[in-house]
Chains A and B, each alone.
Chain A
Amino acid sequence: MPNFFPPRPKQESIRTAICHETHSEANPFVAEKTLWHGYDAEKLSANYDWTVMLFLMSQGELPTPEQNHLLNRVMASLANPGPRDAAVRAAMNCGVGKTPLATILTTGLTVRGGMAEGSMHVEVAMRLLYGQMAGADCLSTGDKETYAKQLVSSYRTHWQEHKDDEVVSLPETPPGFGLYYGERDLRAVKLLKIIKDNCGNYLQLALEIEGFLSQQNDAAYLTMPGVVAALLCDLGFSPEHGAGIFLVAAVPGIFAHGVEQLPRSWNEYPFWADSAYYNYEGPVPTKKVGKE
């Protein structure tokens, strides 16, 4: 079909390998046909479910039924971080304040994006397992136990040298491992039970690392984000896409909890208003402007 406009310079064009839209005969802005990674989008949406689209958009190929099943299990397990989770609480705070609807969700997702145990953490945990945070001397030899120890050692060196390189510091404990409220992360244990028949190479590697770290003085174990990171590696996702999946998977819970608070009055949600809750630890507020 002929184009409507003269060609534009390549540097002024958006380039993508994901989506191709062919315009209709009469309107250059309306797509008559859409391809997603070469597949007809209409046929895809009529025949495949949402996680298949997620896999296709991220990796450019359709998942096998086994991969799709595992991705569904992982995402289902992340569907609601619960009302005590920081991201969900941020969304609920929006809800009780009557913040515009879309911001309820984006606020929750922003908080879920952090390094503590959010999507940034999943991203670096995946980099650790992929060996992207290891030095050149750290090579996979087939001996998983040795390689696991090498990865940990290499991460610790990397952390010493680069922990403050970015605006949010890397965690001191190798990402994907640690404690949850001071003890082994029960969420990780439960998730491991759910997916016990899907132990791929990266999950095996993560379990090797856990075996090593759990024997150390400050014992650390696989955390829920760590198990998710390993599974997403086994599913072939890049760390960037893995981080995105960790965010998207929690949308149902974040949004539902936020919206649940919308009709409620501000005083039906805690403010911790009693002064007994508030503990000021700063300087005596007697400073005077101009007399510093």
Chain B
Amino acid sequence: MSGWEKYAENRDRVSSKSGGWTIGGETTLHGYNIHQELTHQTSWVQVLMLSVTGRLYDENQIRLVEALFVATGYPDPRLWCNRIVALAGSERVSAGAALSIGVASAEAKIYGGQAEYAAAKTFIECHRIFQEQDESALLSHMKSVLKRERAIFGFGRPLTKVEERIAPIERMAKELDIEDGPHLSTVKHMEMLLKRYRLILNFAGYATARLLDLGLSAHEVHQFSTLGFYLGLSPCYIEAFENEPGTFLPIACEDILYEGPEERPLP
């Protein structure tokens, strides 16, 4: 095969394993007819999970997953991704552009999508060690991660050592008769072991463990969680958009702490 044959093979050829639209006719997603099956029998989050994983989860599980999104949709414009959409609103950026940068910016390592991916990778490895070996092997692994990374993704939280979002989901899981899966059990055990380091399980870690227990891979956790902060974005954008431009957290010249060189002549 010459070097360019594979490109020639795909020229004018659209391939899909997940579905598509017969123009003017049927539309399908992962083996389901969208209009005959999904539209009237499933929820938006149920189909979101289907679109990411290819699997249709039962309504009970989805109720809990949906609650994860609700629990972390804080409309506080101080939060980083919210502040970005508020700045966009204040500059009269259109809604689609503003909300999309809110979503994109939340793919953050400190608090967002990258943290969830890293937590998923960490939890999968920790769970494997805990299953195949024992608590001391798990602790030893966690210590080596802490030494190397100075953190364990899924644990610890900026600004506070309180995590208010987990308890409501735990209550709901109980009401829905959803037990802790193997990953969440391991993660809760990890939290107990990490008490001496004053590291709490954070909500991203908790949600990640729940999603891993539903059979999602680390990449699927990352992709599914992309809209995790979405509910908080719209109110921040709308308010800033409706207020007078430039009045969202204006910064005076003197507010900037300059750390660069003194004025110098041009060569």
Chain A, Cβ-Cβ closest to B10:
A279
- Residue from the set B2, B14, B38 with the largest chain A CB neighbour count within 10 Å: B14
Is residue A47 contacting chain B, with contact meaning CB distance below 8 A? yes
How many angstroms from the CA of A39 to the CA of B101 in the assembled complex? 33
How many angstroms from the CA of A35 to the CA of B266 in the assembled complex? 11
Is residue B242 contacting chain A, with contact meaning CB distance below 8 A? no
Residues facing B in A98-137 (CB within 8 A) are 100, 102-103, 106, 110
Which residues in A have their C-beta under 8 angstroms from that of B118?
Answer: 165
How many angstroms from the CA of A214 to the CA of B30 in the assembled complex? 42
Report which of A28, A110, A279, A286 forms a contact with B13, defined as CB distance below 8 A.
A279
Contact A37 B261 (CB under 8 A): yes
Contact B17 A282 (CB under 8 A): yes
- Residue from the set A37, A166, A167 with the largest chain B CB neighbour count within 10 Å: A167
Measured CB to CB, the closest approach of chain A to B118, in angstroms, equals: 8
The total of chain B residues at the interface (CB under 8 A) is: 61
B 10-45 binary contact with A (CB < 8 Å = 1; else 0) = 001111111110110010101111000110011000
Is residue B3 contacting chain A, with contact meaning CB distance below 8 A? yes
Report which of A103, A182, A278, A286 forms a contact with B96, defined as CB distance below 8 A.
A103
Contact B252 A23 (CB under 8 A): yes
How many angstroms from the CA of A112 to the CA of B231 in the assembled complex? 28
Is residue B94 contacting chain A, with contact meaning CB distance below 8 A? yes
Contact B266 A17 (CB under 8 A): no
How many angstroms from the CA of A53 to the CA of B262 in the assembled complex? 18
Residues facing A in B92-115 (CB within 8 A) are 93-94, 96-97, 101, 104, 107, 113-114
Contact B107 A167 (CB under 8 A): yes
Which residues in A have their C-beta under 8 angstroms from that of B179?
Answer: none
Report which of B3, B22, B97, B264 forms a contact with A179, defined as CB distance below 8 A.
B3
Measured CB to CB, the closest approach of chain B to A258, in angstroms, equals: 14
Which residues in A have their C-beta under 8 angstroms from that of B113?
Answer: 167
Contact B97 A102 (CB under 8 A): yes
Which residues in A have their C-beta under 8 angstroms from that of B259?
Answer: 15-17
Is residue A22 contacting chain B, with contact meaning CB distance below 8 A? yes
Contact B252 A28 (CB under 8 A): yes
Contact A289:B56 (CB < 8 A) given known A23-B254, A280-B20: yes
Report which of B6, B20, B266 forms a contact with A278, defined as CB distance below 8 A.
B20
Give the 4 A-B CB pairs with smallest separation, nearest first.
A182-B3, A38-B261, A17-B260, A285-B28
Listed in ascending order, the chain B residues whose CB lies under 8 Å from chain A are 2-7, 12-20, 22-23, 26, 28, 30-33, 37-38, 41-42, 55-56, 93-94, 96-97, 101, 104, 107, 113-114, 117-118, 121, 218-219, 222, 250-264, 266-267
A-B contact pairs, 27 of them (CB 8 A): A4-B252, A4-B254, A13-B255, A16-B257, A16-B258, A28-B252, A28-B253, A29-B252, A31-B253, A47-B266, A60-B261, A100-B97, A102-B97, A167-B107, A167-B117, A182-B2, A272-B12, A275-B22, A278-B16, A279-B14, A280-B16, A282-B16, A282-B28, A282-B30, A282-B31, A287-B31, A289-B37
